[in-house]
Amino acid sequence: MNPARVVAIAIRALLRNKLRSFLTTLGVVIGVAAVIAMTAIGAGASARVQATFEAMGSNMLVVLSGASQMGGARGGHGSQPTLTWSDLDAIRGLPAVRLAAPQLQRSAQVMGDGQNWNTMIQGTTPELFDIRNWRIARGRFFDEDEERAGSKVAVVGNTVVQNLFGPYEDAVGQVIRIGDVPFEVVGVAAAKGQTGFGQDQDDVVIIPSRTFRAKLQGGLQQFIAGAVVASARSAADAGRAQSQIEELLRQRHRIAPAGQDDFHVRNLSDIAASQQESARTMTSLLAGIALVSLVVGGIGIMNIMLVSVTERTREIGLRMAVGAKPRNILVQFLVEAVALSIAGGILGTAAGLGAASWLAARFGWPMLVQPQFVVAAVAFSAAVGVAFGMWPALQASRLDPIQALRYE
Residues that bind another protein (CB under 8 A): 1, 5, 9, 16, 314-315, 317-328, 401-402, 405
Q: What's the min distance (Å) between Cβ of 6 and another protein? A: 9
Q: How far is the CB of 13 from another protein (least distance, A)?
A: 10
Question: Which of residues 234 and 328 has its CB atom nearest to another protein in the complex?
Answer: 328
Identify which of residues 16 and 362 has a Cβ nearer to another protein in the complex: 16
Minimum CB distance to another protein smaller for 132 or for 319:
319
> With helix as H, strand as E and coil as C, how does the chain read?
CCHHHHHHHHHHHHHCCHHHHHHHHHHHHHHHHHHHHHHHHHHHHHHHHHHHHHHHCCCEEEEEECCCEECCEECCCCCCCCCEHHHHHHHHCCCCEEEEEEEEEEEEEEEECCEEEEEEEEEECCHHHHHCCCCEEEECCCCHHHHHHCCCEEEECHHHHHHHHCCCCCCCCCEEEECCEEEEEEEEECCCCECCCCCECCCEEEEEHHHHHHHCCCCCCCECCEEEEEEECCHHHHHHHHHHHHHHHHHHCCCCCCCCCCEEEEEHHHHHHHHHHHHHHHHHHHHHHHHHHHHHHHHHHHHHHHHHHHHCHHHHHHHHHCCCCHHHHHHHHHHHHHHHHHHHHHHHHHHHHHHHHHHHHHHCCCCCCCHHHHHHHHHHHHHHHHHHHHHHHHHHHCCCHHHHHHCC
CA angle centred on 173, ends 171 and 178, rounded to 5°: 75
Residue whose CB is less far from another protein, 163 or 328: 328
| Beta carbons within 8 Å of 220's beta carbon, 6+ residues apart | 81
CB of 22 to another protein, least distance (A): 17
| Minimum distance from residue 405 beta carbon to another protein (Å) | 7
Q: In the complex, what is the shortest distance from the CB of residue 320 to another protein, in angstroms, rounded to a whole number?
A: 7
Residue number with CB closer to another protein (18 or 254):
18
Q: Residue 291 or 396: which CB sits closer to another protein?
A: 396
CB of 408 to another protein, least distance (A): 10
Which C-beta is closer to another protein: that of 9 or that of 387? 9
Angle, CA 306 vertex, CA 302 and CA 311 arms, to 5°: 145
- The CA distance from 115 to 111, in Å, is 6
Closest separation between CB of residue 1 and another protein, Å?
A: 6
Residue 9 or 295 with smaller CB distance to another protein: 9
Q: Which is nearer to another protein, 140 or 314 (CB)?
A: 314
Q: Output the smallest distance, CB 7 to another protein, in A.
A: 13
Please report, as a single letter, which amino acid is at residue 338.
Answer: V
Query: To the nearest whole angstrom, how small is the minimum distance from the Cβ of residue 2 to another protein?
Result: 9
